[in-house]
Amino acid sequence: DLRLSTATATPDPVVAGTALTYLVTVRNDGPSHSTGSTLTLTPDTRVTLGTLPSGCSLASGVVSCAVGPLGPSSSQPFSFPGMVAATATGTLNTTASVASVEPDPLASNNTATIPTSVQVSTDLRLSTATATPDPVVAGTTLTYLVTVTNDGPSHSTGSTLTLTPDSRVTLGALPTGCTLASGVVTCTVGPLGPSGNQPFSFPGTVAPTATGPLNTTASVASVEPDPLASNNTATIPTSV
């Protein structure tokens, strides 16, 4: 009577774009000696497995492992490291199964499904938030450059960038996907994979009467949970 005494994924839940490990243990509950068996693991299509245990091979999306001889009450563990796709959501469903060489009186404990909940985490930040030139001459033009970057580990389905220019700056033509209302520019940021980024350029004119520093603020808000809010906002000071 072979069975899967362990069939787990760690961590659970797992964050999309990070690693997990499947642990599957084959145990012989006897009463007879097992001369050998085969363990199969069919990982969820959103999981890419890493280095396989000795005696295991991957073909057509299925891992097959040779299980050695097992006496009654003996077991053999297998560990499968993997990486979850950055775009994964919902639940991962991986299946493990053991097939015995000898007759097995209880087939119901030979197969297990390993469900793993997926969480999403996108660390968006403003990797660029500058004004050029700096210093700027009153009555002349300047350009704000703001870049939204996804530091991952998960895929960002979209976000919103806002730019609040200093009241002494009149913005020119806005980038595609941006609108101005009540003195605030709101821009739609497209999907960004890990390490992906999207730049925005905002031309403007400084009032001829402007003196002292200009203070413009940019901020990005993610659709998905963002683990580090402190890098989502930046003030752009510009000497006049």
Pairwise CA distance, residues 217 & 226, whole Å = 19
Q: Over range 185-190, report the average pLDDT.
A: 98
Average pLDDT, the chain: 97
Q: How confident is the model at residue 5 (pLDDT cuts 50, 70, 90)?
A: very high
Pairwise CA distance, residues 64 & 50, whole Å = 14
Pairwise CA distance, residues 151 & 124, whole Å = 6
Q: What CA dihedral angle connects 236, 237, 238 and 240, to 10 degrees?
A: 150
Name the β-bridge partners of 3: 27
Q: Are 118 and 105 in contact (CB under 8 A)?
A: no
pLDDT > 90: percent of the chain = 100
The per-residue pLDDT for 137 is 98
Name the β-bridge partners of 164: 217
The per-residue pLDDT for 67 is 97
The 10s digit of each residue's pLDDT in 80-126 is 999 999 999 999 999 999 999 999 999 999 999 999 999 999 999 99
The residue written with tokens 């209880």 in the block is 106
- Residue 109 in 3-state DSSP? helix
The per-residue pLDDT for 88 is 98
Pairwise CA distance, residues 179 & 25, whole Å = 57
The per-residue pLDDT for 229 is 94
Pairwise CA distance, residues 166 & 30, whole Å = 78
The per-residue pLDDT for 196 is 98
The per-residue pLDDT for 227 is 95
Q: Is 110 left (phi over 0), alpha (psi -120 to 50) or beta?
A: alpha
Q: How confident is the model at residue 198 (pLDDT cuts 50, 70, 90)?
A: very high
The per-residue pLDDT for 20 is 98
The per-residue pLDDT for 200 is 98
The per-residue pLDDT for 47 is 98
What's the whole-model pTM score? 0.90
Q: Are 198 and 133 in contact (CB under 8 A)?
A: no
